[in-house]
């Protein structure tokens, strides 16, 4: 347990003793300019970049109602649950997203973890430290995008779409329930498939239990993650509602999660995980705005004014019933990272790309699973894929009674329909041929994919899709 860093019970009140900044005037964020932009000199921690946009994506994963959205709100101050049906039922259904800046006080006298603090994405670069008697200035360490995943088993496909853009993950475990809960293990297996190396474990809701119960559950968590990708990850006891130990979480995000190496010089490629029509009903024709695609840039730099292409674009069938794709060509008219407008956007972080695409094609997440990038530089579109796959031994995320082991995963059968998650696309696929660990799959919707991309495989069991294995794209039949 993070005992050496955990404040004593008396320290809870101290965390809230802070000086008021009512008379402080925040400095404006530095302006971005395309005139003197030298792409080769950019890094994910260049001050001009992290002042306005996040450069690392961190996912929150775990069982339903374990506090994923609450933790994101505690760190970033942003409510990720936005839709009416989500608010009524108090659950996450679509992927939530929020940005936060994490600062560290540059005064060496300011003790950790209290010297770490998080603010909203639009906050100034070096605010004054709010610890009484410190007088130092805070230094911007990281600008983080949180991808808030739903915890329900039937929304597993949405969680896998979000995993496509994550660089690291926070695994939440509620302290007032036994560990592991079904989706705790299923989500952990999913991020292992996506090759995520950096994981922090949050033992949430510690304010609801006694210390002895917290220590007992801490042992359960250690036993559960043994041998997985989260083995050896720090377990931080927190209360997301009371914002208790959030400074420790901020410290670990800065010290335990490195900023991934990014490719700035290649042709830009953005993976779309959300898309919107931002026009209000009854909007006048001459005031219509183009659709917005939201996602994370995998490589390259997108600039305002760039000509772009979206693949697979508009999918249709010809007279013979064969699938055709027509790429959508457009231009970038604006770039946003939450409320910060950008002139250029770099890999990492969640970006909103304002385009001139007909909003009908963007509304209600219609662009999800497509790729956006430079014209004629995107990967090919496939309707048939050859994949090498690996199946899990047992089903995860299914409750078992008593000591009963989870049911075994049966082999793939020719002709069965699976759900494939390729990047941020969820699509059906029919298995047409099998040989050892190779399978040929005909997709129900064309996909834009790169050779070597990871795929998550799910099978329909009872009423929901269950994760049964993963695969890699070997080759495919191009459109």
- Span 289-310, pLDDT tens digits: 878 888 888 888 888 888 888 8
Does the pLDDT of residue 438 top 50, yes or no? Answer: yes
Task: Using a pLDDT cut of 90, give the percent of the chain over it.
Answer: 0
Band (pLDDT 50/70/90 cuts) for residue 15 is very low
**What pLDDT is stored for residue 10 in this prediction?**
39
DSSP character for 361?
Answer: G
Distance CA 436, CA 432 (A): 14
Mean pLDDT of the chain, nearest integer = 79
Does the pLDDT of residue 16 top 50, yes or no? Answer: no
Q: For Cα atoms 72, 76, 80, give the angle at the middle one, nearest 5 degrees.
A: 50
* Listed residue (466, 455, 465) closest to 386, CA to CA: 455
Band (pLDDT 50/70/90 cuts) for residue 351 is confident
Band (pLDDT 50/70/90 cuts) for residue 14 is very low
Q: Which of 38-42, 60-64, 312-316, 387-391 has the lowest mean pLDDT?
A: 38-42
Residues 6+ positions from 55 with CB-CB distance below 8 Å = 44, 45, 49, 142, 143, 259, 262, 346, 347, 348, 349
Q: Which two tokens stand for residue 414?
A: 């020719």
* Listed residue (373, 256, 210, 251) closest to 307, CA to CA: 373
Band (pLDDT 50/70/90 cuts) for residue 265 is confident
Band (pLDDT 50/70/90 cuts) for residue 184 is confident
3-state helix, strand, coil in the chain (%, to 5): 20, 35, 45
154 and 464 Cβ atoms separated by less than 8 Å = yes
Distance CA 306, CA 260 (A): 25
Q: Which two tokens stand for residue 388?
A: 């090498």
**What pLDDT is stored for residue 154 in this prediction?**
67
Distance CA 28, CA 303 (A): 22
Band (pLDDT 50/70/90 cuts) for residue 23 is low
The secondary structure of 130-155 as a DSSP string is: -STTT--BEEEEEEEEEEE----GGG
Highest mean pLDDT among 68-82, 113-127, 161-175, 233-247: 233-247
Does the pLDDT of residue 444 top 80, yes or no? Answer: yes
Q: Which two tokens stand for residue 164?
A: 């496509």
Q: Which two tokens stand for residue 285?
A: 């024709």
* Listed residue (350, 198, 300) closest to 259, CA to CA: 198
Highest mean pLDDT among 92-96, 134-138, 197-201, 228-232: 197-201
Does the pLDDT of residue 401 top 60, yes or no? Answer: no
Q: All domains of the chain, ordered by start, with CATH?
A: 47-256 (3.40.50.300), 269-374 (2.40.30.10), 381-478 (2.40.30.10)
**Chain centroid offset of residue 290 CA:** 25
Does the pLDDT of residue 424 top 60, yes or no? Answer: yes
Does the pLDDT of residue 6 top 70, yes or no? Answer: no
End-to-end CA distance of the chain: 53
- With the CA atoms of 379, 189, 196 and 452 taken in that order, what torsion angle do they form, in degrees rounded to the nearest 10? -30
Does the pLDDT of residue 146 top 60, yes or no? Answer: yes
Q: Please state the pTM of the whole predicted model.
A: 0.78
Does the pLDDT of residue 402 top 70, yes or no? Answer: no
294 and 428 Cβ atoms separated by less than 8 Å = no
Residue the block writes with tokens 């506090």? 67
Distance CA 172, CA 146 (A): 14
Distance CA 38, CA 177 (A): 52
Q: Which of 29-33, 185-189, 296-300, 421-425 has the lowest mean pLDDT?
A: 29-33
**What pLDDT is stored for residue 8 in this prediction?**
40
Does the pLDDT of residue 207 top 80, yes or no? Answer: yes
108 and 130 Cβ atoms separated by less than 8 Å = no
Residue the block writes with tokens 């830009």? 268
Residue the block writes with tokens 């970038």? 332
Band (pLDDT 50/70/90 cuts) for residue 17 is low
């Amino acid at each position: 347990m993070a005992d050496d860093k955990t404040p004593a019970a008396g320290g809870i009140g101290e965390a809230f003793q802070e000086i008021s900044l009512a008379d402080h005037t925040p400095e404006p964020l530095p302006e971005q300019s395309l005139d003197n932009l030298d792409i080769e000199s950019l890094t994910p921690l260049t001050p001009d970049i992290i002042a306005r946009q996040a450069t690392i994506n961190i996912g929150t994963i775990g069982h339903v109602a374990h506090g994923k959205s609450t933790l994101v709100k505690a760190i970033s101050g942003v409510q990720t649950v936005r839709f009416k049906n989500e608010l009524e039922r108090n659950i996450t259904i679509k992927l939530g997203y929020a940005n936060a800046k994490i600062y560290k006080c540059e005064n060496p006298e300011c003790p950790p973890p209290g010297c770490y603090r998080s603010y909203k994405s639009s906050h100034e670069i070096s605010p004054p430290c709010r610890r009484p008697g410190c007088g130092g200035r805070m230094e911007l360490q990281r600008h983080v995008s949180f991808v808030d995943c739903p915890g329900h088993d039937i929304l597993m496909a949405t969680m896998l779409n979000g995993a496509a853009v994550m660089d690291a993950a926070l695994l939440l475990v509620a302290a007032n329930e036994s560990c592991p809960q079904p989706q705790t293990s299923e989500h952990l297996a999913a991020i292992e498939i996506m090759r995520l190396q950096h994981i922090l474990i949050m033992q949430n809701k510690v304010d609801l239990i006694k210390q002895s119960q917290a220590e007992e559950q801490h042992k359960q968590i250690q036993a559960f993650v043994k041998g997985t990708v989260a083995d050896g990850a720090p377990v931080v006891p927190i209360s997301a509602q009371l914002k208790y130990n959030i400074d420790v979480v901020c410290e670990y995000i800065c010290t335990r999660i490195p900023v991934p190496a990014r490719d700035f010089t290649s042709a830009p490629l953005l993976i779309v995980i959300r898309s919107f029509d931002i026009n209000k009903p009854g909007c006048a024709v001459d005031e219509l705005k183009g659709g917005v695609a939201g996602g994370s840039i995998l490589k390259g730099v997108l600039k305002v004014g760039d000509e772009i292409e979206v693949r697979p674009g508009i999918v249709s069938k010809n007279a013979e019933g064969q699938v055709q794709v027509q790429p959508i060509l457009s231009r970038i008219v604006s770039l946003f990272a939450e409320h910060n407008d950008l002139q250029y956007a770099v890999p990492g972080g969640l970006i909103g790309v304002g385009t001139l695409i007909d909003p009908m094609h963007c509304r209600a997440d219609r662009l999800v699973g497509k790729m956006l990038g430079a014209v004629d530089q995107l990967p090919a579109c496939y309707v048939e894929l050859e994949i090498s796959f690996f199946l899990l031994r047992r089903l995860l995320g299914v409750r078992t009674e008593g000591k009963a082991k989870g049911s075994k995963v049966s082999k793939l059968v020719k002709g069965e329909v699976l759900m494939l998650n390729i990047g941020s696309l969820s699509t059906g696929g029919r298995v047409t041929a099998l040989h050892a660990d190779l399978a040929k799959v005909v997709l129900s919707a064309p996909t834009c994919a790169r050779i070597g991309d990871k795929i998550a495989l799910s099978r329909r069991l009872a009423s929901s899709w269950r994760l049964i294995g993963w695969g890699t794209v070997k080759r495919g039949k191009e459109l």
